[in-house]
Structure 1
Amino acid sequence: MARIIGGIGTSHVPTIGLAYDKGKQEDPAWKPLFDGYKPIADWLAKEKPDALIMIYNDHCSSFFFDFYPTFALGIGSEFSVADEGAGLRNLPPLPGNVELQAHIAESLVNDEFDLTIFQDKPLDHGCFSPLPLLWPHKPEWPGCVVPLAVNVLQFPLPTARRCYRLGQAIKRAIESYPEDLKVVVVGTGGLSHQVHGERVGFNNIEWDHEFLELLQNDPEKLTELTHKDFVERGGAESVEQIMWLTMRGALNDSIQQKHVNYYLATTTAMTAVLYENA
Structure 2
Amino acid sequence: MARITASVYTSHVPAIGAAMDLGKTHEPYWQPMFAGYDFSRQWLRDNTPDVILMVYNDHATAFSLDVIPTFALGTAAEYQPADEGWGPRPVPRVLGHPELASHIAQSVIQQDFDLTIVNKMDVDHGLTVPLSLMCGEKDPLKDAWPCPVIPLAVNVVQYPVPSGQRCLNLGRAIRKAVETFDQDLKVQIWGTGGMSHQLQGARAGLINKAWDNRFLDLLVENPVGLSQVPHIEYVREAGSEGIELVMWLIARGAMADVDQARPLPRVLHRFYHVPASNTAVGHLILENPA
- TM above 0.5: yes
TM-score bin, normalised by smaller chain: over 0.9
- Report 1:64-79 matches (<5 A): 64-79=64-79
CA contact (8 A) 1:10 1:188 kept: yes
Q: Deviations over 1:65-108 (max 9, x none)?
A: 11110000001110110000111221111111110110011011
Matched residue, 1:31: 31
TM-score, with length taken from structure 2: 0.94
Q: Which runs of 5+ in 1 are unaligned?
A: none
Q: State the SS of the aligned residue for 2:36.
A: helix
* Residue 130 (structure 1) shift: 2.0
Root-mean-square deviation (CA, aligned residues, Å) is: 1.0
Show structure 2 runs of 5+ residues with no match.
Answer: 258-263
Aligned to 1:93: 93
- How many residue pairs match? The answer is 278
Match of 1:257 in 2: 267
SS at match of 2:120: coil
Whether the aligned pair in 2 keeps the contact of 1:33 and 1:261 (CA below 8 Å) is: no
Question: Which 4+ residue blocks in structure 1 deviate beyond 4 angstroms?
Answer: none
Aligned 1:119-158 pairs, distance under 5 A: 119-135=119-135, 137=138, 138-158=142-162
The equivalent of 2:261 in structure 1 is none
Does the residue aligned with 2:37 lie in a helix, a strand or coil? helix
Residue 269 of structure 1 corresponds to 280
TM-score normalised over the length of structure 1: 0.98
Q: CA deviation at 1:132?
A: 1.4
Distance 1:135 1:50 in 2: 15
Q: C-alpha separation between the residues in 1 aligned to 2:243 and 2:13?
A: 14
Q: Which amino acid aligns with 2:86?
A: A
Deviation larger for 260-269 or 212-221: 260-269
State how far apart, in whole Å, the 1-side matches of 2:196 and 2:144 are: 33
Correspondence for 1:170? 174
Q: Deviations over 1:36-77 (max 9, x none)?
A: 112111111111201111000000001011111000000111
Indicate conservation of the 8 Å contact 1:16/1:130, yes or no.
no
- The answer on whether the counterparts of 1:38 and 1:133 sit within 8 Å (CA) in structure 2 is no
* Alpha-carbon distance in 2 for matches of 1:175, 1:53: 14
Q: Any idea what SS the aligned residue of 1:129 has?
A: helix
- In structure 2, the partner of 1:237 is 241
Which amino acid in the other structure matches residue 61 of structure 2? Answer: S
